[in-house]
Amino acid sequence: MVKANKKKPQGQKINYKKQQRQEDKQEQQIEIRQMAVQACAEGELTLQLQAYDTWFFRESRPHDAVGASELSSLFPPPVRTLVGALRTFLGDQVGIDWQTLQCKENNFDFEQNLGNTEHLGQLQLNGPWVCYQGQRLYPAPLYLMQKEQTIARLNAGKPIRCDLGTVRLPALPEGCAPGFKSLEQRWLNATDMAICLNGETPNSKNIISTTHLFCHEARLGIARDNALRKVQDGKLYQTRHLRLKEGVQIELKAKHLHPLLIQALPVNGHALVRLGGEGRMASLETNLSTQPLPFAKAKQTETLLIHFITPADFNGEMFPENFIKMEHLGKTVWKGVINDIKLIIEAAVIGKSHREGGWDMQKHQPRPVKSYTPAGSAWFCRLEQHYDWQTLQTQLQGQCIGLDSAYGRGQILLGHWQDTHNG
């Protein structure tokens, strides 16, 4: 006896609880990947610096600037300052003659491997990042606005005529009351940064401020005449040092390190280096693992939100030199290409210029002060043609754009934004 085949009932019920459990599981897996620790590739190391005392990284103004009663300290430390301390330590370890930049005991080429005052040779860096209680922090995107415990996101608004042309200026969502302020000098961990990359807003309780990371200490100093062994009249200065709190470190990722340099770095333990103004002591440790960069969920999209997690150098301009300002569909936009990806920048949130100077130890003179696009800035972009998400991730995620990319300048993360005012 043959049983008749039963037809599947039409309009089967959807098990929403099962579907929700699957989505929750996927969310957990993504969060685990955001926080997972990965092994460094060959020739790469994670460098961690911790303060023994206060640190001072002078702002761009000189001590004798008009109206400068006190000079504050930059935070995080400028990457060139960190590089200078690292190069000095490594040079001493391999026995470099600092007058000739030659190594007495081997044929190690200092300039080829560690560069000079203008470049890093084959060395490449990412960072610096702030680490707090074992987690790497990222500058809060400047499109996040806060009012008391409420967080809102700026989005590309309607085109408005201004000095730049007919541009889409960033705007708060409709219905937001006045009083929101940007989150300058605030940080997010990888999980909350990933929330931002996915077009959402983090919990205000998770935002980390400078009070969690360091406190200020005022210092009064004098200029000395070492030849006469006395102080110089009228040469008083006041500085504001930083005392980092427990669990706060500065992290760099070094790439393409010569094997001799890897051997010179402390593997099981730490070394002492002089860092910043007054040559304050710092502990240098190395790690063979690294924390991955936060990432957004993959999806097909026509828009792209580019986040800057380190200051970018576009030679004083808003955008790279290959981006051309033009009129497109009645709006002023900037068209260009980054790593073979064709983009249209329709709006941008850019903070106050980040200014750095420094000291050229070879020429014994100050370095020219430069203005950088600050970390936390973001570009609201539209793709000129279709790209799958994997291609965008490969070409752009974690890449450094602009000048001085070997120093880690202009490192970017990819995110999503929803265009609610198109046209």
107 & 217 share domain: yes
In the listed set 230, 262, 288, which residue is the last one of a domain according to the structure? 288
Number of domains comprising the chain: 2
Statement to judge: residues 377 and 329 lie in one domain: yes
What pLDDT is attached to residue 63?
65
Structural domain contains residue 18: no
Q: What is the pLDDT of residue 81?
A: 92
Mean of the pLDDT values across residues 253-267? Answer: 88
pLDDT beyond 80 at 347: yes
Distance in angstroms (rounded) separating the CA atoms of residues 249 and 51: 8
Lowest mean pLDDT among 28-42, 213-227, 251-265: 28-42
**DSSP structure string for 361-423:** TTTTEEPPPEEEBPTT-EEEEEESS---HHHHHHHHTT-B-SBTGGGTTTBEEEE----SS--
Are 301 and 366 members of one domain?
Answer: yes
Under the banding of pLDDT at 50, 70 and 90, the label for residue 2 is very low
pLDDT value for 41: 82
- Tell me, what CATH number does 51's domain have? 3.30.70
User: Where is average pLDDT lowest: 56-65, 251-260, 332-341?
Assistant: 56-65
Same domain flag for 117 and 227: yes
Placement of tokens 């709190």 in the chain: 245
- Say if 27 falls within a structural domain: no
Closest CA to 319 of 118, 167, 129: 167
Query: Does some domain include residue 84?
Result: yes
Do 314 and 277 fall within a single domain? no
- Both tokens of residue 194? 């990933």
pLDDT band at 179 (very low <50, low <70, confident <90, very high): confident
Do 54 and 113 share a domain, yes or no?
A: yes
Mean pLDDT of 80-102: 87
Higher-confidence residue of 206 and 366: namely 206
Calculate the alpha carbon distances from 249 to 50, 52, 289, 375 in Å: 5, 11, 16, 18
182 and 71 part of one domain: no
- Asked, for residue 6, whether it belongs to a domain, the answer is no
- Per-residue confidence (pLDDT) for residue 32, from 0 to 100: 53
Regarding whether 318 and 404 lie in a shared domain, the answer is yes
pLDDT higher than threshold 90 for residue 394: yes
Q: Are residues 403 and 379 in the same domain?
A: yes
Whether residues 101 and 238 share a domain: the answer is: yes
Q: Is the dihedral of CA 321, 323, 324, 326 positive or negative?
A: negative
pTM above 0.85, yes or no: yes
Q: What is the CATH number of the domain that holds 165?
A: 2.60.40.4350
- Structural domain ending residue among the three candidates 273, 288, 303: 288
In a domain, 28, yes or no: no
Task: List the domain range (segments joined by +) for residue 270.
Answer: 39-134+212-288
With respect to residue 337, please indicate whether it lies within any of the assigned structural domains: yes
Residue 6: pLDDT band (50, 70, 90) is: very low
Q: Examine residue 423 and state whether it is found in any structural domain, yes or no.
A: no
Same domain, residue pair 130 and 144? no
Asked whether residue 216 carries a pLDDT value surpassing 60, the answer given is yes
Of residues 131, 139, 58, 183, the one with CA closest to residue 374: 139
Residue 98: pLDDT band (50, 70, 90) is: confident
Greatest alpha-carbon pair distance for the chain in Å reads 117
- From 288, 320, 352, the end of a domain falls on 288
What tens digit of pLDDT does each residue of 101-134 get?
788 767 788 888 888 878 898 999 998 999 999 8
**Residue type present at position 21:** R
Does 364 score more than 80 pLDDT? no
| Structure tokens belonging to residue 204 | 């205000």
Q: How far is the C-alpha of 260 from the C-alpha of 113, rounded, in Å?
A: 10
Instruction: Report the chain's mean pLDDT, rounded to a whole number.
Output: 86
186: confidence class by pLDDT, cuts 50, 70, 90:
very high
The arithmetic mean of pLDDT across residues 85-100, rounded, is 86
pLDDT band with cut points at 50, 70 and 90 for residue 66: very low
Average pLDDT over every residue of 224-235: 84
Residue 26 predicted with pLDDT over 70: no
% of the chain residues with pLDDT over 90: 51
280 and 379 in a single domain? The answer is no
